[in-house]
Amino acid sequence: MKPDTWKRGRVNYLFFNNEIVPYEQAVVHVTTPAYRYGAMVFEGLRGYWNDEEEQMYLFRVPEHCRRLNQSLKMTRMDLTVTVEEMTGNLIRLIRKNEIRETIHFIYSAFLDGDGPMSSTGPIGTAIEIRKLGRMFDIENGIRCSTSSWRRNTDDASPMRIKSAANYQNSRFALLQAKQDGYDNAILLTASGKVSEGTGACLCMVRDGRLVTPSITSDILESITRDTIITLYREQFDTNAAERSIDRTELYVADEIFFCGSGYEVVPIVNVDGFSIGRGTPGEVTRQLMESYRAVVTGKNSDHAEWRISVYG
């Protein structure tokens, strides 16, 4: 993501502690446990602009809300966010900014006040919105390395919690990969099995079947992963395998892709210098990329239960 593209995505208003405020006023103090210890949990989700319908669709809000509440519970932050609240706040903020293009949100809850490490409140909430289209070159795909940084483990810094603190691990891996000339990194678990990417889950196609690391592979329990597993089952009439994946299976895979709310579906065409398949995005990846796009934008009327309309 180029910094200027990122900057252009800025909007005028953000949501901060239950109010819509000008962009500049959504600030967290340096004395907060959020700042000092990374005590912040969040969700990253998207709203998709549908030009023909002049409509924006929020994708799978109840599932994101459920995961946010699970992160809050596991970090002992005393707050529950209802689906109605989350949906209402998102819609109000989009309407206030009069956004008519595809966006990404960070819906966060953070440890406010100036208490010590052991504090559990007060909890602040914030929503950042950014206009954000595709993040990667999906036509050509991306090149990844297997990181020498191992994924955080469930007994140290659980990836099941979507917390800001966890992303230092991803950041190490991403910066190292870029330093070494790759686009992104794939992290292994402490025991050397494939875990996930720096900001997305990983899927591969081997011998014609979709395979993805199980939810006990130190991954974030991804909503896009679930969407892809569902679309795959419906379109290919067979179940994806959720199992552990060896590093060398990646080298001989037919296809590999990342999936996530921000990333969407991103083909990986090379791992550690090994060409994947023909070195171009594969057929299963292409089909899932297209059907994912159709379902999130509402161009495919299936799975209406996954979308919430913002306007009208």
Residues forming the site for ligand PMP (CB under 6 A): 44, 170, 196, 199-201, 219-220, 222-225, 260-262
Looking at the Cβ atoms of 131 and 225, the one nearer to ligand PMP is 225
Q: Which residues contact 12 (CB under 8 A, 6 or more apart)?
A: 22, 23, 97
- Long-range pairs for 24-33 at CB < 8 Å and ≥24 separation? 26/126, 26/128, 28/110, 28/112, 28/124, 28/126, 29/112, 29/114, 31/114, 32/110, 32/111, 32/112, 32/113, 32/114, 32/124, 33/111, 33/113, 33/115, 33/116, 33/117, 33/119
CB of 211 to ligand PMP, least distance (A): 16
In whole angstroms, the minimum distance from the beta carbon of 311 to ligand PMP comes to 24
DSSP state of 269: E
77/174 with CB nearer ligand PMP: 174
Taking the complex as a whole, the smallest distance from the CB of residue 224 to ligand PMP amounts, in Å, to: 3
Omega before 3 within 30 of 0, i.e. cis: no
User: Please, which residue, 14 or 201, has the CB nearer to ligand PMP?
Assistant: 201
What is d(CA 76, CA 120) in angstroms, rounded to the nearest whole number? 6
Nearer to ligand PMP, 9 or 121 (CB): 9
CB of 154 to ligand PMP, least distance (A): 14
Q: What's the closest the beta carbon of residue 57 comes to ligand PMP, in angstroms?
A: 16
Which one, 260 or 298, has the nearer CB to ligand PMP?
260
